[in-house]
Structure 1
Protein backbone atom coordinates (compact mmCIF):
# COMPACT_ATOMS: atom_id res chain seq x y z
CA UNK A 1 0.00 0.00 0.00
CA UNK A 2 1.31 3.45 -0.89
CA UNK A 3 2.04 5.99 1.82
CA UNK A 4 -0.75 8.23 0.47
CA UNK A 5 -3.22 5.35 0.78
CA UNK A 6 -2.13 4.66 4.36
CA UNK A 7 -2.53 8.22 5.62
CA UNK A 8 -5.48 9.37 3.54
CA UNK A 9 -6.21 12.85 2.29
CA UNK A 10 -5.65 14.57 5.65
CA UNK A 11 -2.19 13.07 5.95
CA UNK A 12 -1.42 14.14 2.41
CA UNK A 13 -2.57 17.70 3.13
CA UNK A 14 -0.44 17.87 6.27
CA UNK A 15 2.51 16.45 4.39
CA UNK A 16 1.98 19.02 1.62
CA UNK A 17 1.96 21.82 4.20
CA UNK A 18 5.21 20.59 5.72
CA UNK A 19 6.83 20.35 2.28
CA UNK A 20 5.69 23.90 1.50
CA UNK A 21 7.16 25.16 4.78
CA UNK A 22 10.46 23.42 4.07
CA UNK A 23 10.54 24.87 0.56
CA UNK A 24 10.20 28.35 2.05
CA UNK A 25 13.02 27.77 4.53
CA UNK A 26 15.21 26.29 1.80
CA UNK A 27 14.59 29.33 -0.41
CA UNK A 28 15.43 31.69 2.46
CA UNK A 29 18.56 29.68 3.15
CA UNK A 30 19.57 29.86 -0.51
CA UNK A 31 19.11 33.64 -0.39
CA UNK A 32 21.25 33.86 2.75
CA UNK A 33 23.94 31.75 1.07
CA UNK A 34 23.90 34.16 -1.88
CA UNK A 35 24.32 37.11 0.51
CA UNK A 36 27.22 35.32 2.22
CA UNK A 37 28.92 34.74 -1.13
CA UNK A 38 29.19 38.47 -1.77
CA UNK A 39 32.82 38.96 -2.86
CA UNK A 40 33.09 42.07 -0.69
CA UNK A 41 33.26 39.88 2.39
CA UNK A 42 36.38 38.16 1.11
CA UNK A 43 38.03 40.77 -1.11
CA UNK A 44 37.36 44.01 0.71
CA UNK A 45 36.70 43.06 4.32
CA UNK A 46 39.29 40.27 4.61
CA UNK A 47 36.99 37.49 5.74
CA UNK A 48 38.98 34.29 5.26
CA UNK A 49 37.86 32.42 2.15
CA UNK A 50 37.94 29.05 3.88
CA UNK A 51 35.42 26.81 5.64
CA UNK A 52 35.45 28.86 8.85
CA UNK A 53 35.26 32.22 7.09
CA UNK A 54 32.41 31.08 4.88
CA UNK A 55 30.57 29.69 7.91
CA UNK A 56 30.93 33.04 9.67
CA UNK A 57 29.69 35.01 6.66
CA UNK A 58 26.75 32.62 6.36
CA UNK A 59 26.07 32.78 10.10
CA UNK A 60 25.90 36.57 9.85
CA UNK A 61 23.50 36.51 6.90
CA UNK A 62 21.24 33.82 8.38
CA UNK A 63 21.23 35.79 11.64
CA UNK A 64 19.93 38.84 9.81
CA UNK A 65 17.11 36.80 8.28
CA UNK A 66 16.23 35.15 11.59
CA UNK A 67 16.23 38.56 13.28
CA UNK A 68 13.66 39.71 10.72
CA UNK A 69 11.50 36.63 11.23
CA UNK A 70 11.53 37.08 15.01
CA UNK A 71 8.93 39.84 14.88
CA UNK A 72 6.45 37.94 12.72
CA UNK A 73 4.59 35.92 15.32
CA UNK A 74 4.16 32.17 15.31
CA UNK A 75 4.58 31.81 11.56
CA UNK A 76 7.85 33.73 11.69
CA UNK A 77 9.06 31.63 14.63
CA UNK A 78 8.28 28.38 12.83
CA UNK A 79 9.99 29.57 9.65
CA UNK A 80 12.99 30.79 11.67
CA UNK A 81 13.37 27.36 13.30
CA UNK A 82 13.05 25.68 9.91
CA UNK A 83 15.70 28.02 8.52
CA UNK A 84 18.00 27.01 11.38
CA UNK A 85 17.25 23.33 10.72
CA UNK A 86 17.88 23.77 6.99
CA UNK A 87 21.20 25.49 7.65
CA UNK A 88 22.46 22.76 9.93
CA UNK A 89 21.21 19.96 7.71
CA UNK A 90 23.36 21.60 5.02
CA UNK A 91 26.31 21.87 7.43
CA UNK A 92 25.92 18.16 8.21
CA UNK A 93 25.85 17.25 4.52
CA UNK A 94 28.82 19.50 3.73
CA UNK A 95 30.93 17.96 6.49
CA UNK A 96 30.05 14.47 5.29
CA UNK A 97 31.00 15.42 1.73
CA UNK A 98 34.33 16.65 3.11
CA UNK A 99 34.90 13.17 4.52
CA UNK A 100 34.06 13.55 8.21
CA UNK A 101 32.71 10.41 9.88
CA UNK A 102 29.33 10.06 11.58
CA UNK A 103 30.59 10.70 15.12
CA UNK A 104 32.78 13.59 14.04
CA UNK A 105 29.96 15.18 12.06
CA UNK A 106 27.47 15.07 14.90
CA UNK A 107 29.94 16.64 17.32
CA UNK A 108 31.09 19.31 14.89
CA UNK A 109 27.52 20.24 13.90
CA UNK A 110 26.61 20.59 17.59
CA UNK A 111 29.61 22.87 18.16
CA UNK A 112 28.72 24.89 15.05
CA UNK A 113 25.09 25.27 16.14
CA UNK A 114 26.18 26.51 19.56
CA UNK A 115 28.60 28.95 17.92
CA UNK A 116 25.82 30.12 15.63
CA UNK A 117 23.50 30.75 18.59
CA UNK A 118 26.13 33.00 20.17
CA UNK A 119 26.64 34.89 16.92
CA UNK A 120 22.90 35.30 16.39
CA UNK A 121 22.53 36.73 19.88
CA UNK A 122 25.50 39.09 19.51
CA UNK A 123 24.42 40.40 16.11
CA UNK A 124 20.72 40.73 16.98
CA UNK A 125 21.39 42.45 20.30
CA UNK A 126 23.83 44.96 18.83
CA UNK A 127 21.56 45.73 15.85
CA UNK A 128 18.44 45.95 18.04
CA UNK A 129 20.22 48.48 20.26
CA UNK A 130 21.85 50.28 17.34
CA UNK A 131 25.15 49.71 19.17
CA UNK A 132 27.92 50.07 16.61
CA UNK A 133 30.63 49.31 19.18
CA UNK A 134 29.01 46.00 20.16
CA UNK A 135 28.45 45.15 16.48
CA UNK A 136 32.10 45.93 15.71
CA UNK A 137 33.23 43.72 18.60
CA UNK A 138 30.99 40.86 17.44
CA UNK A 139 32.25 41.16 13.85
CA UNK A 140 35.88 41.29 14.97
CA UNK A 141 35.46 38.26 17.23
CA UNK A 142 33.42 36.15 14.79
CA UNK A 143 33.50 37.25 11.17
CA UNK A 144 37.12 38.42 11.26
CA UNK A 145 38.16 35.79 13.84
CA UNK A 146 40.28 38.28 15.76
CA UNK A 147 42.53 39.00 12.78
CA UNK A 148 41.40 42.55 12.06
CA UNK A 149 39.31 45.55 12.99
CA UNK A 150 35.73 46.06 11.90
CA UNK A 151 36.10 49.46 10.29
CA UNK A 152 33.28 51.88 9.47
CA UNK A 153 32.96 50.44 5.95
CA UNK A 154 32.35 46.91 7.22
CA UNK A 155 29.91 48.18 9.85
CA UNK A 156 27.99 50.16 7.24
CA UNK A 157 27.99 47.18 4.88
CA UNK A 158 26.50 44.90 7.55
CA UNK A 159 24.00 47.54 8.67
CA UNK A 160 22.95 48.04 5.04
CA UNK A 161 22.51 44.27 4.61
CA UNK A 162 20.36 44.24 7.73
CA UNK A 163 18.30 47.20 6.56
CA UNK A 164 17.68 45.42 3.29
CA UNK A 165 16.45 42.30 5.08
CA UNK A 166 14.37 44.34 7.54
CA UNK A 167 12.72 46.18 4.64
CA UNK A 168 11.39 42.97 3.06
CA UNK A 169 7.60 42.93 3.32
CA UNK A 170 6.13 40.48 5.82
CA UNK A 171 4.24 38.46 3.22
CA UNK A 172 7.31 38.25 1.00
CA UNK A 173 9.67 36.91 3.67
CA UNK A 174 6.99 34.57 5.02
CA UNK A 175 6.71 33.23 1.47
CA UNK A 176 10.44 32.43 1.69
CA UNK A 177 11.83 35.26 -0.41
CA UNK A 178 14.06 38.24 0.28
CA UNK A 179 13.31 40.17 -2.94
Structure 2
Protein backbone atom coordinates (compact mmCIF):
# COMPACT_ATOMS: atom_id res chain seq x y z
CA UNK A 1 0.00 0.00 0.00
CA UNK A 2 1.36 3.38 -0.97
CA UNK A 3 0.06 5.26 2.09
CA UNK A 4 -0.32 2.76 4.94
CA UNK A 5 -0.93 5.58 7.42
CA UNK A 6 -4.09 6.51 5.49
CA UNK A 7 -5.82 3.25 6.40
CA UNK A 8 -8.86 3.73 8.55
CA UNK A 9 -9.00 2.05 11.87
CA UNK A 10 -12.17 0.23 12.77
CA UNK A 11 -14.52 2.59 14.60
CA UNK A 12 -15.93 0.85 17.69
CA UNK A 13 -18.84 3.33 17.76
CA UNK A 14 -19.77 2.36 14.16
CA UNK A 15 -19.70 -1.33 15.12
CA UNK A 16 -22.03 -0.60 18.07
CA UNK A 17 -24.45 1.40 15.93
CA UNK A 18 -24.50 -1.23 13.18
CA UNK A 19 -25.16 -3.93 15.79
CA UNK A 20 -28.00 -1.95 17.38
CA UNK A 21 -29.53 -1.23 13.99
CA UNK A 22 -29.23 -4.90 13.04
CA UNK A 23 -30.97 -5.98 16.24
CA UNK A 24 -33.81 -3.50 15.66
CA UNK A 25 -34.21 -4.76 12.09
CA UNK A 26 -34.08 -8.34 13.38
CA UNK A 27 -36.96 -7.59 15.74
CA UNK A 28 -38.93 -5.97 12.91
CA UNK A 29 -38.48 -9.09 10.75
CA UNK A 30 -40.04 -11.48 13.24
CA UNK A 31 -42.76 -13.37 11.34
CA UNK A 32 -45.23 -13.15 14.25
CA UNK A 33 -45.81 -9.47 13.52
CA UNK A 34 -46.98 -10.22 10.00
CA UNK A 35 -48.73 -13.54 10.64
CA UNK A 36 -50.23 -13.18 14.13
CA UNK A 37 -50.53 -9.40 14.45
CA UNK A 38 -51.64 -8.73 10.88
CA UNK A 39 -49.08 -6.01 10.18
CA UNK A 40 -48.97 -5.54 6.39
CA UNK A 41 -45.83 -7.14 4.93
CA UNK A 42 -45.03 -4.09 2.80
CA UNK A 43 -42.43 -1.33 2.89
CA UNK A 44 -44.92 0.75 4.88
CA UNK A 45 -45.66 -2.03 7.37
CA UNK A 46 -41.98 -2.71 7.93
CA UNK A 47 -41.32 1.02 8.29
CA UNK A 48 -44.04 1.23 10.94
CA UNK A 49 -42.46 -1.58 12.95
CA UNK A 50 -39.02 0.00 12.48
CA UNK A 51 -40.38 3.30 13.82
CA UNK A 52 -41.91 1.49 16.79
CA UNK A 53 -38.84 -0.55 17.72
CA UNK A 54 -36.29 2.18 17.05
CA UNK A 55 -38.50 4.63 18.94
CA UNK A 56 -38.55 2.32 21.96
CA UNK A 57 -34.75 2.03 21.93
CA UNK A 58 -34.30 5.78 21.47
CA UNK A 59 -36.72 6.40 24.32
CA UNK A 60 -34.58 4.17 26.56
CA UNK A 61 -31.27 5.74 25.52
CA UNK A 62 -32.54 9.32 25.80
CA UNK A 63 -33.72 8.64 29.36
CA UNK A 64 -30.31 7.28 30.35
CA UNK A 65 -27.16 8.87 31.64
CA UNK A 66 -24.21 9.56 29.34
CA UNK A 67 -23.51 8.23 26.73
CA UNK A 68 -27.16 7.23 26.19
CA UNK A 69 -28.43 10.42 24.50
CA UNK A 70 -25.37 10.65 22.24
CA UNK A 71 -25.79 7.02 21.18
CA UNK A 72 -29.49 7.73 20.55
CA UNK A 73 -28.64 10.56 18.15
CA UNK A 74 -26.04 8.48 16.35
CA UNK A 75 -28.54 5.61 16.12
CA UNK A 76 -31.14 7.90 14.49
CA UNK A 77 -28.51 8.90 11.93
CA UNK A 78 -27.69 5.24 11.32
CA UNK A 79 -31.35 4.26 10.90
CA UNK A 80 -31.89 7.01 8.34
CA UNK A 81 -28.67 6.23 6.48
CA UNK A 82 -29.90 2.64 6.09
CA UNK A 83 -33.37 3.82 5.03
CA UNK A 84 -31.83 6.03 2.38
CA UNK A 85 -29.68 3.15 1.12
CA UNK A 86 -32.77 0.91 1.03
CA UNK A 87 -34.65 3.47 -1.06
CA UNK A 88 -31.76 3.78 -3.49
CA UNK A 89 -31.43 0.00 -3.70
CA UNK A 90 -35.16 -0.22 -4.46
CA UNK A 91 -34.58 2.04 -7.45
CA UNK A 92 -35.89 5.33 -6.12
CA UNK A 93 -34.26 8.08 -8.19
CA UNK A 94 -31.76 10.62 -6.94
CA UNK A 95 -34.24 13.47 -7.35
CA UNK A 96 -36.97 11.68 -5.37
CA UNK A 97 -34.85 10.30 -2.51
CA UNK A 98 -34.59 13.59 -0.55
CA UNK A 99 -38.36 14.12 -0.74
CA UNK A 100 -39.07 10.56 0.41
CA UNK A 101 -36.48 10.86 3.18
CA UNK A 102 -38.08 14.07 4.42
CA UNK A 103 -41.50 12.38 4.59
CA UNK A 104 -40.03 9.31 6.31
CA UNK A 105 -38.19 11.50 8.84
CA UNK A 106 -41.34 13.45 9.66
CA UNK A 107 -43.34 10.23 9.96
CA UNK A 108 -40.70 8.61 12.16
CA UNK A 109 -40.47 11.57 14.53
CA UNK A 110 -44.24 11.96 14.69
CA UNK A 111 -44.79 8.29 15.44
CA UNK A 112 -42.03 8.22 18.05
CA UNK A 113 -43.64 11.16 19.84
CA UNK A 114 -47.13 9.61 19.62
CA UNK A 115 -45.91 6.25 20.90
CA UNK A 116 -43.99 7.88 23.74
CA UNK A 117 -47.09 9.88 24.73
CA UNK A 118 -49.20 6.74 24.50
CA UNK A 119 -46.81 4.82 26.73
CA UNK A 120 -46.84 7.64 29.29
CA UNK A 121 -50.62 8.08 29.31
CA UNK A 122 -51.55 4.40 29.54
CA UNK A 123 -55.19 5.10 28.62
CA UNK A 124 -55.44 3.33 25.26
CA UNK A 125 -53.69 6.15 23.40
CA UNK A 126 -50.88 3.82 22.33
CA UNK A 127 -53.29 1.28 20.84
CA UNK A 128 -55.10 4.11 19.07
CA UNK A 129 -51.86 5.51 17.62
CA UNK A 130 -50.72 2.05 16.53
CA UNK A 131 -54.09 1.33 14.92
CA UNK A 132 -53.96 4.62 13.05
CA UNK A 133 -50.33 4.27 11.89
CA UNK A 134 -49.46 0.59 11.63
CA UNK A 135 -52.85 -0.58 10.41
CA UNK A 136 -53.86 2.64 8.60
CA UNK A 137 -57.10 2.63 10.58
CA UNK A 138 -58.14 -0.76 9.16
CA UNK A 139 -57.34 -2.88 12.17
CA UNK A 140 -59.12 -6.20 12.64
CA UNK A 141 -59.87 -7.69 16.04
CA UNK A 142 -57.55 -6.77 18.86
CA UNK A 143 -54.39 -6.46 16.73
CA UNK A 144 -53.67 -2.84 17.72
CA UNK A 145 -54.32 -3.60 21.38
CA UNK A 146 -52.06 -6.66 21.21
CA UNK A 147 -49.31 -4.64 19.52
CA UNK A 148 -49.78 -2.00 22.22
CA UNK A 149 -49.29 -4.64 24.92
CA UNK A 150 -46.16 -5.87 23.11
CA UNK A 151 -44.78 -2.31 22.86
CA UNK A 152 -45.51 -1.66 26.54
CA UNK A 153 -43.76 -4.90 27.51
CA UNK A 154 -40.78 -4.04 25.27
CA UNK A 155 -40.57 -0.53 26.76
CA UNK A 156 -40.68 -1.95 30.30
CA UNK A 157 -37.99 -4.54 29.55
CA UNK A 158 -35.75 -1.93 27.92
CA UNK A 159 -36.28 0.50 30.81
CA UNK A 160 -35.34 -2.14 33.38
CA UNK A 161 -32.19 -3.14 31.49
CA UNK A 162 -29.08 -1.20 32.51
CA UNK A 163 -27.68 1.02 29.77
CA UNK A 164 -24.37 -0.86 29.82
CA UNK A 165 -26.23 -4.10 29.10
CA UNK A 166 -28.09 -2.48 26.20
CA UNK A 167 -24.78 -1.31 24.76
CA UNK A 168 -22.86 -4.55 25.31
CA UNK A 169 -25.43 -7.33 24.90
CA UNK A 170 -28.30 -7.90 22.49
CA UNK A 171 -31.27 -5.59 22.95
CA UNK A 172 -33.86 -7.38 25.10
CA UNK A 173 -36.87 -7.29 22.77
CA UNK A 174 -39.55 -9.73 23.94
CA UNK A 175 -40.83 -12.49 21.69
CA UNK A 176 -44.02 -11.10 20.10
CA UNK A 177 -45.58 -14.56 19.90
CA UNK A 178 -45.70 -14.69 23.72
CA UNK A 179 -48.15 -11.77 23.92
CA UNK A 180 -51.57 -13.42 23.86
CA UNK A 181 -54.42 -12.26 21.67
CA UNK A 182 -57.61 -11.25 23.45
CA UNK A 183 -59.72 -12.48 20.53
CA UNK A 184 -60.55 -16.16 20.26
CA UNK A 185 -58.55 -17.89 17.51
* Offset of residue 79 of structure 1: 0.6
- Distance in 1 separating the partners of 2:80 and 2:147: 26
State the match for 2:147 in structure 1: 154
User: TM-score scaled to structure 2, two decimals?
Assistant: 0.82
User: Match for 2:99 among 107, 112, 115?
Assistant: 107
- Count matched residues: 169
Deviations 1:122-150 (A, max 9, x none): 11122133x24110111011111211165
Structure 1 position 156, deviation (Å): 1.6
Contact 1:27 1:176 in 2 (8 A): no
Distance in 1 between residues matched to 2:109 and 2:126, nearest whole Å: 15
Partner of 1:9: none
1:49 and 2:41 aligned? yes
- Counterpart residue number, 1:178: 171
Query: 1:136 — aligned with what?
Result: 127
Contact 2:68 2:163 in 1 (8 A): no
Aligned-pair Cα RMSD in Å: 2.2
Q: 1:100 to 1:125 in 2, by over 3 A?
A: same
Q: Which has the higher helix share?
A: 1
Structure 2 matches for 1:6-21, cutoff 5 A?
19-21=11-13
138-147 or 90-99, which moves further after superposition? 138-147
Do 2:128 and 2:144's aligned partners in 1 also have CA atoms closer than 8 Å?
no
2:78 aligns to what? 86
With a CA cutoff of 8 Å and minimum separation of 6, indicate the structure with the bigger relative contact order. Answer: 1
TM-score (norm 1): 0.84
The question of whether the paired residues in 2 share the 8 Å contact of 1:75 and 1:174 is answered with: no
Equivalent residue of 1:91, what SS?
helix
Structure 1: 5+ residue stretches without partners: 7-11
